Amino acid sequence: DARVTQTPRHKVTEMGQEVTMRCQPILGHNTVFWYRQTMMQGLELLAYFRNRAPLDDSGMPKDRFSAEMPDATLATLKIQPSEPRDSAVYFCASGRGTGENIQYFGAGTRLSVL
């Protein structure tokens, strides 16, 4: 049963620390998305990759956030330095990149920055 895998599921850290979240997209999917979910803002897109190239990261605070795809099986989202306002659930999703490009979501990483 193919699925998007995200690690860690939960992360508690102190303000100022670096946080790295990882995502393994479904094999064969060439589009990868990072979304952030908060009570106030709901679900919002942070970054979007196609064939490992970043196509849209306009939703991401550039001063502290960075997203990369070192290879087709791994996407990373880093926050450095982290702040309490970064506390949220971060979802990764992947899709085939054609037609409907249905996005399949991982279980998310719940980040708490103290």
Partner 1 sequence: AQTVTQSQPEMSVQEAETVTLSCTYDTSESDYYLFWYKQPPSRQMILVIRQEAYKQQNATENRFSVNFQKAAKSFSLKISDSQLGDAAMYFCAYRRESGGSNYKLTFGKGTLLTVNP
Binding site for partner 1 (CB under 8 A): 31, 33, 35, 42-45, 48, 50, 55-56, 89, 91, 93, 95, 97-98, 100-105, 107-108, 110
Closest separation in Å from C-beta 45 to partner 1 = 5
Is 49 within 8 Å of 55 (Cβ atoms)? yes
Which DSSP string do the residues of 45-69 spell out, in sequence order?
Answer: EEEEEETTEEEE-TTS-TTTEEEEE
Q: Identify which of residues 17 and 51 has a Cβ nearer to partner 1 in the complex.
A: 51
Closest CA to 59 of 25, 88, 23, 16: 88
Q: Identify which of residues 14 and 34 has a Cβ nearer to partner 1 in the complex.
A: 34
Q: Identify which of residues 19 and 29 has a Cβ nearer to partner 1 in the complex.
A: 29
Is 38 within 8 Å of 96 (Cβ atoms)? no
Closest separation in Å from C-beta 16 to partner 1 = 27
Long-range contacts of 54-63 (CB under 8 A, 24+ apart): 60/34
Closest separation in Å from C-beta 102 to partner 1 = 6
- State the Cα–Cα distance between residues 60 and 7, nearest whole angstrom: 20
Closest separation in Å from C-beta 43 to partner 1 = 4
Q: Identify which of residues 66 and 103 has a Cβ nearer to partner 1 in the complex.
A: 103
